[in-house]
A and B are shown apart, each in its own frame.
Chain A
């Protein structure tokens, strides 16, 4: 007894020590998650990246300047001219509110950081939170060891890094944390059956709804899991407590967010949860009646309850179907439909299909984004099935659905990444557990076969049984079946029954040592790949580009040059037209009104701009004139070989424009189905505005007009613009800005007309000479 007491004391001390250790490991994981995302700041500078983050940054600036009430009521007239946009009602406010709160707290603590700095570092901070949330979630599923492994995997999974490097100030940065944390609280509620956690769960869900449109994934995945539990006969009252309050509270909280509003009860994305809500009540009633009745009476009751319940369900389903069928899109939003039917977007909505991150991924991108996790996930799934608990079945369901979604859209690889990390963490920690235990068990016997060695090995056994959960023990039995055959060492002494069982779980020493070395190598490979991805592949801010060549590093800062020119040389109220990709940046950096931007809420408006870009000069001038446009901005990569320029996006402009205005036809721009801009190009292509604005005076650069992106000489080299004049071209010709010529007065005399023409031409020439290095 005394010995066991002493042992217990040792264990509790060890346990406490383990907790402290786990705390410090978690702290280090947080530091790692934060610091691995700082490559972009170190290699470039502390700037906001890409397109959408600029909009979020602008909204945050507005929020910090004008306060929360003005933010909700903000009508933005600097975008979507002449329509404008109600920002407060159409934006997911979670990210901006988070960063605004952070900034406000820091300022009230007298830490004077700029809004931009806070925005840049929001994503790394939340990735640290996300890895802690992963620890909690995995701990609920398979214990602390698996939790720590999963947390460290998530801290540097390349897929998540790509969306959360410093400066990538986008919704996903906080949403992934919210997603994992909501799942954690759901599992926690499921394991404890506490209403307190259920309340927290719905609040976490509210935060997720605030942050990202991906919340529909949660509100569909959790009902699916509940249904799975019910169908497989795992219903418990904890399941009811975890689910029913979440639906009611979650729906109410979701409809508080202006951008969701009544959609939380009106659209089909949410109907699954209501259906399962009804089902779980029927099931709960059945279980209750089963509890209070004798089995014989219950048999009689089943028929009654089932028939009544089925009738009620049928009625509800009929009502729902009637509601759904009465709406034109069957209540589904286009993006969700393109998830369910991957070919939907390319068929009906070119504007969704045109975004590269909405395309299906390629196989290499899986390897790039989750690397070795892809191989560890199956092992993790197997580990989850032995023994299958409510929590582990949830994780399995999560990985299965997210694998499907990531196969439909590249962007949703981000949802897959946490699931892959959790399962790989489980797999790795289970594997390490088996191997280290077999080494621990065999080492003492290897050293000497005497009584002392036997005693120490006996000591090891209870140690292990404390350290590993009962769940893990059973899981090992399966792996040990193979080892049973391998074991050839003769049993020297009669062992107790538990010891025999333990012996059977043991792998040969050499095998386990080699396996551990291989696993460590695998982990090292993953770390190397992740750091490489963070440093090289995903840290470029995309508004500042660099290229290495034989004579050193080149920096292309043309975007900011162009936006600075706009903000310094144009009137405050001038309207700038460009393709929608550059709308957010223009409003945020140049502070000029744009016609369309990256929030693609009005397809017709975008189609109008697309039509103008694909029309001949005069028609385009008329369209732009009718929209009050003064400047047109095009992005051109032909000189330096920047591939994502407007000429490469041009076919989408044609498609989107042609979808609304049928006189624009895609075949007119293609020669034998091929998109080309060389001398074989169609006359429509060579005369459209986009071609002219991109290649105007291009021949003056090298005399041949060789396009480095398309790797060909352009088709039409010498031409003049009649309705536009070039006002600014950046250093590397990446951004070119044109001004619309004012409408001509009705002048009868020919002399006057020609005079005005020449004078304007010389004026523009002078300007060009001043600003163009070429």
Chain B
């Protein structure tokens, strides 16, 4: 949030020029308040826009979030304990990242708003997804050691 405000401020400064900057200090408080309000608006808009997405996409999103979260836990654990069986660490993290990426791909393909994939049946997309996951996890099982 703070970063955002700073960026915003800098932009304003550039736009308005030098004279304006002298008077700026008094208004900065008001500006900060308004920009934070903007951000609140933004999040509200984001949330309402997201609430409109179909349930199946939301499920995929949850799945992606879970995979990324698992990857993060592993990275934190690696940072604490060390990366000794490096292939295990690598396969663990990459399997999470891989599932997340593949799920994002699936989400892109089954999303009805994407005009590019109109003629791609969701069944076909899911079959591709399963195949790709199969390959991924075969490789990971092999790499785990």
Complex contact B4–A252 (CB within 8 A): no
Residue of B nearest to A236 (CB): B116
Contact stretch, chosen from A61-69, A150-158, A190-198, A683-691: A190-198
Interface contact B45-A203, CB-CB below 8 Å: no
Asked if B86 contacts A262 (CB within 8 A), the reply is: yes
A304: interface (CB < 8 Å): yes
- Asked whether B41 lies within 8 Å of A297 as measured between CB atoms, the reply is yes
Is A199 touching B125 in the complex (CB atoms < 8 A)?
A: no
- A248, B49: Cα distance in complex, Å: 30
Q: Closest residue to B86 on the A side, CB-wise?
A: A262
B46, chain A: closest CB distance, angstroms: 7
Query: Looking at A238, A241, A244, which has the most chain B CB atoms within 10 Å of its CB?
Result: A241
CA distance A395 to B46 in the complex (A): 39
Mostly, the B contact residues are helix
* 8 Å CB interface, B84-108 against A: 86-87, 90-91, 94, 97-98, 101-102, 104-106, 108
For residue B13, CB closer than 8 A to chain A, the reply is no
Which A residues touch B66, using CB under 8 A? Answer: none
Residue contact B90 to A265, C-beta cutoff 8 Å = yes
Tell me if A237 is interfacial: C-beta within 8 Å of chain B: yes
Knowing A237-B116, A248-B94, A307-B4 are in contact, say whether A195-B41 is a contact too (CB < 8 A).
Answer: no
Is B80 located at the chain interface by the 8 A CB criterion?
A: no
B4 vs chain A, min Cβ distance (A): 5
A248–B101 CB distance below 8 A? yes
Separation of A202 and B41 alpha carbons in the complex (Å) = 43
Report the separation of the CA atoms of residues A301 and B44 in the bound assembly, to the nearest whole angstrom. Answer: 12
Are A256 and B143 CB-contacts (below 8 A) given A195-B128, A293-B49, A300-B42?
A: yes
CB pair B49 A292 closer than 8 Å: yes
Query: CB-CB < 8 A to A251: which residues of B?
Result: 94
**Set A238, A240, A255, A308: member contacting B104, Cβ < 8 A:** A240
Instruction: Enumerate chain B residues within 8 angstroms of A245, measured Cβ to Cβ.
Output: 98, 101-102, 105, 132
B108 touches A297 (CB 8 A): no
Whether B105 lies near A252 (C-beta < 8 A) is no
Chain A binder among B14-22, B23-31, B133-141 = B133-141
CA distance A598 to B122 in the complex (A): 53
0/1 string, A292-313, CB within 8 A of B gives 1? 1110010011011011100100
Contact B109 A193 (CB under 8 A): yes
In the complex the two chains form, is B101's CB within 8 Å of A244's CB?
A: yes
Is A662 on the interface with B (CB-CB < 8 A)? no
A289 at the interface (CB under 8 A from B): yes
Interface residues of A in 224-256 (CB under 8 A from B): 236-238, 240-241, 244-245, 248-249, 251-253, 255-256
CB A261 to nearest CB in B, in angstroms, measures: 9
Q: Which residues of B contact A203 (CB under 8 A)?
A: 135
Are A248's CB and B136's CB within 8 A?
yes
Per the bound structure, the CA–CA distance linking A195 and B126 in Å amounts to 9
| A552 close to B (CB within 8 Å) | no
Within the assembled complex, what's the spacing in Å between the Cα atoms of A291 and B50?
Answer: 11
Residues of chain B within 8 A of A238, CB atoms compared: 116
Q: Inside 8 A of B94's CB, which chain A residues have their CB? A: 248, 251-252
Size class of the A contact interface (CB-based, 8 Å): 35 or more
Contact A252 B38 (CB under 8 A): no
Q: Is B69 an interface residue when CB atoms closer than 8 A count as contact?
A: no
Contact of A292 among B50, B98, B116 (CB under 8 A): B50
B135 adjacent to A199 (CB under 8 Å): yes
User: CB within 8 Å of A: which of B34-71?
Assistant: 38-39, 41-42, 45-46, 49-50, 53
Of the candidates A195, A196, A307, the one having the most CB atoms from chain B within 10 angstroms of its own CB is A195
Shortest beta-carbon distance from B87 to chain A in Å:
8
Residue of B3, B42, B86, B140 with highest tally of chain A CB at under 10 A:
B42
Residues of A within 8 A of B7 (CB): 303, 306-307
Minimum C-beta distance from A310 to chain B (A)? 9
Residues of B close to A307: CB separation below 8 A:
3-4, 7
Cα(A291)–Cα(B111), bound, Å? 12
With a CB–CB cut-off of 8 A, which chain B residues contact A252?
90-91, 94, 98, 136, 139-140, 143
**Given contact pairs A196-B128, A292-B49, A300-B38, A237 touches B91 in the complex (Cβ within 8 A):** no
Which A residues are CB-close (under 8 A) to B98?
245, 248-249, 252
Complex Cα spacing A251 to B86, Å: 14
A432-461 to B contact mask, C-beta < 8 Å, 1/0 = 000000000000000000000000000000
State in angstroms the CA–CA spacing of A541 and B103 once bound together: 52
Q: Which residues of A contact B131 (CB under 8 A)?
A: 195-196, 199
Point out the residue from A199, A240, A262 that lies within 8 Å of B132, measured CB to CB.
A199
For B49, list chain A residues within 8 Å (CB): 292-293
* A-binding residues in B (CB < 8 A): 3-4, 7-8, 11, 38-39, 41-42, 45-46, 49-50, 53, 86-87, 90-91, 94, 97-98, 101-102, 104-106, 108-109, 113-114, 116-117, 120, 125, 128-129, 131-132, 135-136, 139-140, 142-143
Chain A interface residues toward B at CB < 8 A: 193-196, 198-199, 202-203, 236-238, 240-241, 244-245, 248-249, 251-253, 255-256, 262, 265, 284, 289, 291-294, 297, 300-301, 303-304, 306-308, 311
11 A-B pairs (CB sep. < 8 Å) = A195-B105, A195-B132, A237-B108, A251-B94, A252-B139, A252-B143, A255-B87, A262-B90, A292-B53, A297-B46, A307-B3
Q: What would 14 more interface pairs be, CB under 8 Å, given A245-B101, A245-B102? A: A194-B128, A195-B109, A195-B128, A196-B128, A196-B132, A199-B135, A240-B104, A240-B108, A249-B132, A292-B49, A292-B53, A301-B46, A303-B4, A307-B7
